[in-house]
Homo-oligomer: A and B are copies of this chain.
Amino acid sequence: MISRLEALCLEKGLKMTGQRRVISQVLSEADDHPDVEEVHRRALLIDPRISIATVYRTMRLLEEAQVIERLDFGDGRARYEEAGADHHHHLIDTRTGRVIEFSCSELEAIKERIARELGYRIVAHRLEIYGVPLDEEEGKK
């Protein structure tokens, strides 16, 4: 039972160590956007001798290998998610920290058009929406 990410690492010819296998598994099983500390915490449950430095190194390696994506939700730390899934963006509930994913082809098209009009080819982009639930608002009135 090798994880999706482990398979990807093998394809890319990365040396597979025990800790990389564990971290790959953690990331393959994650359906959220964990930060490094959280990945480390989950990795320790599988193998209690993985150091945080190795998690940092591995996250960077996987990011450079394009198998995971680094996100930034405005607090100081980097969040990660498996790459390759459908392109999407995030709406962050500022009250609870809950993250909702969304995608919108119109948005992507407009963004492409804007870059083209400005004479640029897009190499990356980021879009995040921070919000509060509408129903909580009603409650206040």
* A85-105 Cβ-contact flags toward B at 8 Å (1 or 0): 000000101100000101010
Contact of A119 with B107 in the complex, beta carbons under 8 Å: no
* CB-contacts of A42-100 with B (<8 A): 72, 74, 91, 93-94, 100
Contact of A125 with B135 in the complex, beta carbons under 8 Å: no
Docked pose: A118 CA to B137 CA in angstroms: 14
Contact of B93 with A104 in the complex, beta carbons under 8 Å: no
Docked pose: A134 CA to B107 CA in angstroms: 21
For A100, the chain B residues whose CB sits under 8 A away are 118, 120
With A107-B107, A111-B107, A111-B129 in contact, do A135 and B119 touch (Cβ < 8 Å)? Answer: yes
Cβ of A1 within 8 Å of any chain B Cβ, yes or no, is no
Nearest chain B CB to A134 CB, angstrom units: 5
Contact of B94 with A123 in the complex, beta carbons under 8 Å: yes
Which of B115, B118, B131 contacts A122, CB < 8 Å? B131
Docked pose: A110 CA to B114 CA in angstroms: 15
Cβ of A18 within 8 Å of any chain B Cβ, yes or no, is no
Query: In the complex, which residue of chain B has the Cβ closest to the Cβ of A131?
Result: B120
Cβ of A121 within 8 Å of any chain B Cβ, yes or no, is yes
Q: What are 14 A-B pairs at a CB distance below 8 A?
A: A91-B115, A94-B123, A102-B118, A104-B110, A104-B114, A111-B127, A111-B129, A115-B129, A119-B134, A120-B132, A120-B133, A121-B133, A121-B134, A121-B137
